[in-house]
Amino acid sequence: MELNKPKLTTIENSDFLWTQICELPYFRALLRAVESKFYVGLDLERPVLDVGCGDGHFASRTFAQKIDVGIDPWAEPLAEAAASGAYQETLRSGGAEIPFPDRTFQTVISNSVLEHIPDLDPVITEISRVIKPGGLFVFCVPNHQFLGNLSVSNFFDRIHLTPAANLYRAFFNRISRHYHCDPPEIWERRLTENGFELLKYWHYFSPAAFRVLEWGHYFGLPALISRKLFGTWIPFKNRALLAPIERLCRKYYDEPWEQPDGSYTFYIARKKGAQL
């Protein structure tokens, strides 16, 4: 396996928000841009495995070097990931069967992926198998506050239409394809049972930022039409035309990383055991 550098670093001085807004629907762009910032300065030693690499867009717009390996179970986005130049190697594989020997990787990352996996425990066990003692497992997921921060369901609650509120929460969770929106205690248990020590976590994406994402699912129709017709989410990259969207998102991109009421959580865990 070819390694370019001993550590994986982010793109220097990147405005992740502008980069993402030019290429993704604005609600996804905002969330991904915020998450990109969290990797700045992290000590990500190689080799690095990306579990659930998707189409490679996040990695290609966040990191300055190629990630060693990206895996994903879906062929079409994996082909895009291979073409993106973000990885040394891409493999079609689910997280429960990672085709590498024990203790292969020094770092495993997984960005907004684990919540979409119905049977999650075998995936965490497999990640633990392929990571070296002392290695880092870095990931982010929606948390236990995700459904409670939905503005539409909260409106229904305020006017005492609880059944409608619950239906909306179930609907939004379904279109988001979420199987897990868990609190840190559950994640710490999963990690501990699989030989990890939870080093740090923080909630992010304030309720106000989350409203941008929630309503963006409905106002993002033009981007979807563009994707279908032209193969790109954003057919133009003129800063003046995109300025209103950039202003809307910029204040949330610049908000403090840690948001106690945030809808998502970023985790950093270390595999227990003596480093080799």
Rounded average pLDDT over 23-39: 95
- The predicted pLDDT at position 4 comes to 47
- The predicted pLDDT at position 230 comes to 65
Rounded average pLDDT over 166-188: 95
Rounded average pLDDT over 201-210: 97
Q: Is the pLDDT of residue 5 over 70?
A: no
- The predicted pLDDT at position 233 comes to 64
Could you read off the pLDDT of 219-235 as tens digits, one per residue? 776 776 666 666 776 77
- The predicted pLDDT at position 186 comes to 98
Q: Is the pLDDT of residue 276 over 90?
A: no
Phi, psi of 183 (to 5 degrees): -80, 165
Could you read off the pLDDT of 58-93 as tens digits, one per residue? 999 999 999 999 999 999 999 999 999 999 999 999
- The predicted pLDDT at position 218 comes to 83
Could you read off the pLDDT of 118-158 as tens digits, one per residue? 999 999 999 999 999 999 999 999 999 999 999 999 999 99
Q: Is the pLDDT of residue 1 over 50?
A: no
Cβ partners under 8 Å of residue 99, min gap 6 = 91, 93
Give percent of the chain above pLDDT 90: 84
Q: How confident is the model at residue 3 (pLDDT cuts 50, 70, 90)?
A: very low
Number of Cβ within a 10 Å radius of residue 173: 17
* pTM of the entire predicted model: 0.93
- Nearest Cα to 265, choosing from 199, 182, 192? 182
Cβ partners under 8 Å of residue 267, min gap 6 = 137, 138, 139, 140, 141, 184, 187, 191, 198, 200, 201
- The predicted pLDDT at position 224 comes to 65
Rounded average pLDDT over 228-247: 79
Distance CA 56, CA 71 (A): 10
